[in-house]
Structure formats: structure tokens, C-alpha cells
């Protein structure tokens, strides 16, 4: 959720600022780009050197940096941020934010930011309970900022009560959950098929194809990044998934892929079948290794069941079904034929005539054709970007 997100961490003067070091580390570990603005008082509790080392970025405190002679541009910092986290947020800084004061760099960045702001207060229990603080908190919430509630426990004063800043791990999972809520495919289930199938001839030989599975894996990652619960049914491939939330089912043959797809399809809102499924399989599979005898060898083949067409015949209203077509000639006419025969919502056409867009490649060049025969042709691009284009079409249909 936080990969490549630009996060501005605001650190205020509070004993809880020692936890900002762990928070910074967790955000960086989650893949975020972290820039930190500290208030002057925060620097009395934790050194900017600690936080700049952990964030891998210079820490800013003042508008003007006398050492470099440069101006720390609060507007640029605000616009750079995808989200802002104020942790710990002191009573004083909250009061400034709530009332629009900007007498230091942090409060000026806050006023300039257009992004979502989260704040994790830390203060003594009576300061927290004070009507002035509560009024400021309510004002901040009414401006659209999100409160990460302080927790109950022992406070720096020795008193016990509410006011401890939430633990860094809890702050990170709180933010991740909030971001997940906004994902467009949250609550949707997606099914993806990928890779080749291997049709056994005997215990050591099979009929297969050159599909790498890269397109299907990229689709599974993209659907998951958009919030869908993804099941990936993969034929034999050496690929691995980055996103641990994706459920992966490994299969070998077209029949195994069909059975896995049939059991998941009824619950799936979106099904994208990108696997290069064998159209034929050996009629008889030898249980022992076939020995060479004569100069010629004939293998009888029978049709496999078309998984995409099978799912198309069972498709209910509201389910989106997407297929692929790899063509060498009469590309669009063939693709439209498949779209209609297999009852698809749209088809992704690959042409073997496009350089650099075939099996095993990291790039792909596609044309999307939908039921109304609207066509969208895309440039050659990396498969993760192609996956994003395909998912964008799914989002349009939803």
C-alpha cells in the first residue's frame, strides 16, 4: 500500500518523538519515500541526524537553512506529499493547525498540503482531555484530517490514562487500512489464469508452449493493488508473486486449470483468462516412458475443453469476463469472433506481427475490443503498464 508513496512525516516536541525513529524505519521498509519536518522542540527530544539517516533524506526544521543558504519551500513540500503524518502531534501544534497559524515550517507545510493528513496525538492525559484540545481535534477532523487515537497507558509524567501516542506499527497499519478503503476494487473478487499448460504424453514428456505467464502475473498484481481479492491459477512457470495477498493455485494441464477455474468462477466478479491453454492433448497418456522404435511416430490428439468459453456459458449478470486472442492474420475479425462466441465483455488482442510483443517478452502491445466493438489500440509498453490499461477498462465497465 505504501510503495512509492511520498510521505511527509511531521515530528513535534514530545517524548513520544523517540517513536518517530521506528515509524520512519517502518515507512521506509514499506517502500515509501519519507521526508521529515521537525519542530524546533522536537530536536530537543531526538536528533535530526537519527531521522535523516533512517529516512535517507535531509530533515528540515527551519524555513531558511543558513548552512546551505537555501529556502525550504513549504509549498513544494506540501505538493510533493501523497500523504502527511504528524506523529507525535503535540497539543501546541494541533492548536496551530486547527486555527490556521503558521509560525514554523511544519505548520506552513500543513496549510499548503492538498493531501490527506493523519495525526497521532501524544500528550499528558489532562492536556488530552482539556476542552480546548478536544475542540481543536474536532476542528481538524471537520477539515478532513484523520485522527489516529492516542492509547491508554503510562505517560511520561508518571500518570496513567489516555494520551500515549499509538505505537508505530499500529500507525502504519491504520494508514494502510485507510488507503485500502479507498481502492476501487475493494470488495471485488478476481480470477486470473496465466502461463502455459503441459499436456502429458508419458511420465517424462509433454506438449507445452512458450508462454512465460508474465502477462497474467502482472494482471494479478495490478488487480490486487487496486484492492481486489485475487486468485491466480498458473500453469508451470518460474515466476513468483510480489504481493503475498494473492492466492496462487499451481496447475499443470488444461483439465486441472479448468477444474480450478470452475470452482472459483461463481464467486468472481472479474475473470481475466490470459493463460495459453493447450487446444489439444494426447488421447492416450502412457504410464511408462515411450521407447523409440520406428523412424516415424504418430501421436493421436484430442481437443481440450475451452476454459474461457465454458466460463462464458456460465457467466451471470454483473460478472466481467475477459479473454485474450493471439493472432497472425485477420487479427480483428478473429478476435471479434472469439469475443462473441465466448460471451466476453472484452478481448485483448495481441498480434504476432507486432515486434517485441510476443511470448516471453517483458513488453506487450495490445488492442482492446469490447462488446460494442469499441477499439482501443495501445503502444508497446511493459507488461505491468499493459495490465494497468486492461484493469482501467475493467474499472470503466464496473
In terms of CB distance, is 219 or 273 closer to ligand CTP? 273
CB of 137 to ligand CTP, least distance (A): 53
- Cβ 263 to ligand CTP shortest distance, Å: 15
Specify the residue, 28 or 326, whose C-beta has the smaller distance to ligand CTP. Answer: 326
Query: CA–CA separation, 165 vs 9, rounded Å?
Result: 15
Q: For this structure, is 209 an active site residue?
A: yes
CA neighbor of 22 nearest in space, from 175, 124, 171, 156: 171
Please compute Rg for the chain using Cα positions.
28
Residue 325 or 368: the one with the smaller Cβ distance to ligand CTP is 325
Closer to ligand CTP by CB, 84 or 348: give it: 348
The C-alpha atoms of residue 85 and residue 89 are separated, in whole angstroms, by: 9
Distance of CA 230 to the CA centre of its chain: 11
Give Cβ neighbours of residue 57 (< 8 Å, ≥ 6 apart).
Answer: 33, 34, 35, 36
CB of 344 to ligand CTP, least distance (A): 8
Residue 227 near residue 267, CB atoms below 8 Å:
no
Distance CA 161, CA 168 (A): 19
Q: Are 249 and 233 in contact (CB under 8 A)?
A: yes
Annotated catalytic residue, options 57, 92, 209, 343: 209
Residues that bind ligand CTP (CB under 6 A): 193, 254, 273-275, 277, 279, 304, 306-308, 323-326, 338
Burial (CB count within 10 angstroms: exposed 0-12, middle 13-18, buried 19+), residue 144: exposed
Q: At what angle do helices 307-314 and 254-264 cross, to 10 degrees?
A: 20
Rounded to a whole number of angstroms, the minimum distance from the CB of residue 265 to ligand CTP is 11
Q: Specify the residue, 105 or 278, whose C-beta has the smaller distance to ligand CTP.
A: 278
Contacts of 238 (CB under 8 A, 6+ apart): none
77 and 6 Cβ atoms separated by less than 8 Å: no
Q: How far is the CB of 317 from ligand CTP (least distance, A)?
A: 21
| Element holding 347 (H helix, E strand) | strand 346-351
Residue 193 beta carbon to ligand CTP: minimum distance, rounded to whole angstroms: 6
Q: State whether residue 127 is helix, strand or coil.
A: helix
- CA–CA–CA angle 225, 227, 231 (5° rounding): 85
Q: Between residues 246 and 308, which has the closer beta carbon with respect to ligand CTP?
A: 308
Q: Could you list the active site residues?
A: 209
Amino acid at each position: 500500500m505504501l510503495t512509492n508513496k511520498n510521505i511527509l512525516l511531521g515530528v513535534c516536541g514530545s517524548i513520544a518523538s523517540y517513536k518517530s525513529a521506528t515509524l520512519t524505519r517502518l515507512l521506509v521498509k514499506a517502500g515509501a519515500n519519507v521526508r521529515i519536518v521537525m519542530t524546533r522542540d522536537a530536536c530537543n527530544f531526538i536528533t535530526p541526524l537519527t531521522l535523516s539517516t533512517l529516512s535517507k533524506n535531509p530533515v528540515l526544521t527551519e524555513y531558511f537553512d543558513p548552512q546551505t543558504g537555501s529556502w525550504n519551500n513549504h509549498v513544494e513540500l506540501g505538493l510533493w506529499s501523497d500523504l502527511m503524518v504528524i506523529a507525535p502531534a503535540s497539543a501546541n501544534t494541533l492548536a496551530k493547525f486547527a486555527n490556521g497559524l503558521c509560525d514554523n515550517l511544519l505548520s506552513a507545510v500543513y496549510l499548503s498540503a492538498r493531501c490527506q493528513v493523519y495525526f497521532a496525538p501524544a500528550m499528558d492525559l489532562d492536556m488530552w482531555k482539556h476542552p480546548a484540545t478536544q475542540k481543536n481535534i474536532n476542528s481538524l477532523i471537520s477539515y478532513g484530517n484523520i485522527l489516529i487515537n492516542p492509547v491508554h497507558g503510562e505517560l511520561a509524567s508518571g500518570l496513567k490514562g489516555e494520551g500515549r501516542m499509538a505505537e508505530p506499527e499500529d500507525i502504519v497499519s491504520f494508514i494502510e487500512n485507510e488507503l485500502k478503503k479507498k481502492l476501487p476494487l475493494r470488495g471485488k473478487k478476481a480470477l486470473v489464469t496465466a502461463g502455459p499448460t503441459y499436456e502429458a504424453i508419458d511420465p517424462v514428456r509433454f506438449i507445452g508452449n512458450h508462454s512465460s505467464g508474465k502477462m497474467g502475473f502482472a494482471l494479478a498484481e495490478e488487480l490486487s493493488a487496486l484492492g481486489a481479492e485475487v486468485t491466480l491459477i498458473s500453469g508451470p512457470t518460474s515466476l513468483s508473486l510480489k504481493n503475498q495477498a494473492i492466492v496462487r493455485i499451481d496447475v499443470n494441464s488444461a483439465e486441472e486449470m479448468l477444474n480450478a477455474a470452475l470452482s472459483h468462477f461463481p464467486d468472481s466478479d472479474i475473470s481475466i483468462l490470459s493463460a495459453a491453454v493447450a487446444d489439444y492433448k494426447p488421447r492416450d497418456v502412457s504410464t511408462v516412458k515411450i521407447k523409440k522404435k520406428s523412424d516415424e511416430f504418430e501421436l493421436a490428439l484430442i481437443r481440450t475443453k475451452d476454459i474461457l468459453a465454458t466460463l462464458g456459458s456460465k457467466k451471470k449478470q454483473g460478472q466481467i469476463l475477459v479473454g485474450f486472442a493471439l493472432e497472425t492474420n485477420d487479427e480483428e475479425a478473429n478476435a471479434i469472433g472469439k469475443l462473441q462466441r465466448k460471451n466476453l465483455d472484452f478481448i485483448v488482442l495481441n498480434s504476432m506481427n507486432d515486434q517485441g510483443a510476443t511470448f516471453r517478452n517483458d513488453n506487450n502491445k495490445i488492442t482492446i475490443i469490447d462488446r460494442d466493438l469499441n477499439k482501443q489500440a495501445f503502444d508497446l509498453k511493459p507488461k505491468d503498464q499493459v495490465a494497468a490499461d486492461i484493469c482501467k477498462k475493467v474499472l470503466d465497465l464496473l
